[in-house]
């Protein structure tokens, strides 16, 4: 039990849920290997962790590129001699109504939210098979549980990841743990990726009224990881009490 000494790769670790998860896991003794596109923000997370005595390294990672995820996992193996957990946390949400025809936004969500998660899984599975142990954690969203306007493509990508996660769990066998976590309204920079201004104003009002800190999700990740190896926490929904 516990996570001290575990090697954890996190894609999407430079801000929001990924950053909160990295700092919390490192504080509990994990060696975190962090990936994201923003090099400056990544290095700031590593500095924050190491200044407090934790262990962290980073590599610039674009989850739209399969080779970037492979290299992130390779860095974990090189420096940590193994990989215990991969957390697929990168996600964007340029949400809008369908009739806004933001096809570029649709493509971007498919590439980052769905394809990026698949690339993370593909990078980690051969390592987990060789070790006969491992843990895949996919960060999804309550947007795929309660269907609302403007969330059509975003929710579709998240529900695709939900399907991937459940079938991976069924295929996994006795040595691989698979967890999905669906956050609700969380105080992150999610709003920054929304280009449709009417939609952005609605989401901003909702976030300002009820959003909870990303640490809430990080604690859920910690809980899933620290269970005994024969215990698989399959699914969590973590949202504000005020969220309908």
Task: Show which residues are catalytic.
Answer: 154
The SS3 of residue 100 is: helix
- Burial class of residue 143 in the structure, from the number of CB atoms within 10 Å of its CB (0-12 exposed, 13-18 middle, 19+ buried): buried
Contact between 211 and 186 under an 8 Å Cβ cutoff? The reply is yes
Neighbours of 148 (CB within 10 A): 11
Helices 39-51 and 16-27 pack at an angle, to 10 degrees, of: 20
Contact between 153 and 97 under an 8 Å Cβ cutoff? The reply is no
Interatomic CA distance for residues 65 and 111, integer angstroms:
9
Half-sphere exposure of 50 (CA within 13 A, CB side): 12
Interatomic CA distance for residues 88 and 116, integer angstroms:
8
Interatomic CA distance for residues 124 and 85, integer angstroms:
8
Interatomic CA distance for residues 115 and 183, integer angstroms:
20
Half-sphere exposure of 71 (CA within 13 A, CB side): 12
In the DSSP assignment, the letter for residue 234 is -
């Amino acid at each position: 039990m516990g996570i001290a000494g575990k090697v954890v790769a996190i894609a999407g670790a430079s801000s929001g849920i990924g950053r909160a998860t990295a700092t919390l896991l490192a504080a509990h003794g994990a060696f975190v290997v962090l990936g994201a596109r923003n090099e400056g923000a990544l290095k700031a997370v590593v500095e924050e962790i190491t200044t407090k005595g934790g262990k962290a390294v980073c590599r610039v990672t674009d989850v739209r590129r399969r080779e970037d995820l492979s290299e992130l996992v390779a860095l974990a193996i090189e420096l940590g001699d193994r990989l215990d957990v991969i957390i697929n946390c990168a996600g964007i949400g340029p949400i809008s109504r369908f009739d806004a025809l933001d096809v570029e936004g649709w493509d971007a969500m498919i590439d980052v939210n769905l394809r990026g998660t698949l690339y993370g899984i593909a990078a980690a599975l051969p390592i987990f098979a060789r070790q006969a142990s491992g843990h895949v954690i996919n960060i999804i969203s309550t947007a795929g549980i309660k269907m609302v306007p403007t969330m059509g493509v975003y929710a579709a990508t998240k529900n695709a990841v939900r399907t991937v996660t459940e079938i991976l769990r069924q295929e996994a066998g006795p040595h691989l743990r698979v967890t999905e976590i669906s956050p609700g309204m969380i105080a992150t920079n999610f709003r920054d990726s929304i280009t449709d201004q009417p939609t952005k104003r609605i989401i901003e009002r909702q976030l300002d009224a009820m959003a909870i800190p990303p640490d809430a999700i990080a604690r859920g990740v910690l809980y899933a990881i620290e269970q005994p190896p024969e215990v698989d926490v399959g699914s969590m929904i973590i949202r504000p009490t005020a969220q309908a």
